[in-house]
Each structure stands twice: as C-alpha cells, then as structure tokens.
C-alpha cells in the first residue's frame, strides 16, 4: 500500500492548474500512482525516483504503458542534469521536497520547465521542529523561499491536510 494514496480529487485539482502542455516530469514518483493518473488524463509522463525498489514496483504496476516511463535518478547528485532543458510542461513533486536541498532543486526544475510550464508541489506544512528526525512537511519559511523565485504566477489551494502550490514560469 502507498503512504498517502493519490485521490481523484487530487488529480482533478492538479489538472485544473496543469496548463496546456502534455509533457510531465513526476519527481519522486515512488510507485507511480500519480504518474499513472496523469497518463490516464492524456499526459506523457516520465517518473523519476532514487529508490530502485519503488521504481521496480512502479514498473510492475505500470510498465506496460507507452505513455509512461520510469527512470532511476538521484536528483541531489546531478541526476536532473541528464534531462532536457525546457523539456517539460509540468513538473510534479508530491510529499518529498523536505528531504532535499530546496534551492538547487527549484533552480533546476525551472531550467527543465518549458516557458509557461508549472512546478506543482503537494506537501504538508508544519512549522514545529521534528523530534529527532526529518519531517515530511515543509515549513512556512520553505514556502516563502519557493515564492522568491521569479514566477509568472503562483496559486495555492488546500487538499485535505495538504497544501498544493502551483508555480508557473
């Protein structure tokens, strides 16, 4: 079972902010649930993750599809540089941003987005420091940092206990 299942409501709300392009990069795709939902909606999706086990599960579940591909990439150690500049109309990041260095990732994501493309983030937000570990939540200061980049537009909306942030070039 996945940690936080992708819901129909989540996909519907994301699609309303996805723009017109059809090329998607799902960063931190895990077992591929969001990537598959976006492919079902007519997108061509590349899902990337650093976990070979998660990608093996994604391949088992969705590997038969021609509109969906999975790649093993370590995004913190140069993996994103192997992807085409301006090659994606939508980049999705679901429930993993607190575990990486936000500034270099965001700069690289902007480089990978086509003009008018959107970086879509789904995350819990919690300003309380974690007890002895890393939190799965972004802090308000992290969200403020994301907003400091020069975006054409930004939009936020709640998704249950999560916050979604759509940042468009």
3 state SS for the chain: CCCCCCCHHHHHHHHCCCCCCCEEEEECCCCCHHHHHHHHCCCEEEEEECCHHHHHHHHHHHCCCCCEEEEECCHHHCHHHHCCCCCEEEEEEECCHHHCCHHHHHHHHHHHEEEEEEEEEEECECCCCCCCCCCCCECHHHHHHHHCCCCCEEEEEEECCEEEEEEEC
In the chain, the percentage of residues whose pLDDT exceeds 70 is 95
- Whether residue 21 contacts residue 117, with contact meaning beta carbons closer than 8 Å, is answered with yes
Q: pTM to 2 decimals?
A: 0.94
Closest Cα partner for 49 from 64, 34, 66, 67?
34
The answer to whether residue 104 scores a pLDDT higher than 80 is yes
Q: What is the CB neighbour count within 10 angstroms for residue 69?
A: 17
- pLDDT of 88: 98
Higher pLDDT, 126 or 24: 24
Higher pLDDT, 60 or 96: 60
pLDDT band at 93 (very low <50, low <70, confident <90, very high): very high
The answer to whether residue 129 scores a pLDDT higher than 80 is no
pLDDT average, residue stretch 108-127: 95
- pLDDT of 130: 64
- pLDDT of 76: 87
In tens, the pLDDT along 35-78 reads 999 999 999 999 999 999 999 999 999 989 999 999 999 988 88
The answer to whether residue 125 scores a pLDDT higher than 70 is yes
Closest Cα partner for 90 from 6, 149, 12, 168?
168
């Amino acid at each position: 079972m996945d940690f936080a299942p992708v819901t129909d409501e989540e996909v519907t709300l994301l699609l309303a902010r996805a723009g017109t392009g059809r090329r998607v990069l799902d960063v931190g795709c895990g077992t591929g649930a969001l990537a598959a939902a976006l492919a079902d909606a007519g997108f061509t999706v590349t899902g990337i993750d650093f976990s070979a086990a998660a990608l093996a599960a994604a391949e088992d579940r969705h590997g038969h599809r021609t509109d969906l591909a999975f790649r093993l990439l370590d995004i913190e150690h140069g993996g994103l540089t192997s992807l085409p500049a301006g090659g994606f109309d939508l980049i999705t990041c679901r429930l993993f941003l607190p575990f990486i260095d936000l500034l270099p990732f965001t700069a690289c994501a902007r480089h990978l987005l086509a003009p008018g493309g959107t970086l879509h983030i789904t995350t819990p937000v919690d300003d309380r420091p974690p007890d002895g570990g890393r939190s799965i939540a972004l802090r308000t200061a992290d969200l403020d940092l994301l907003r400091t980049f020069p975006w054409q537009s930004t939009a936020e909306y709640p998704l249950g206990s999560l916050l979604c942030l759509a940042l468009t070039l």
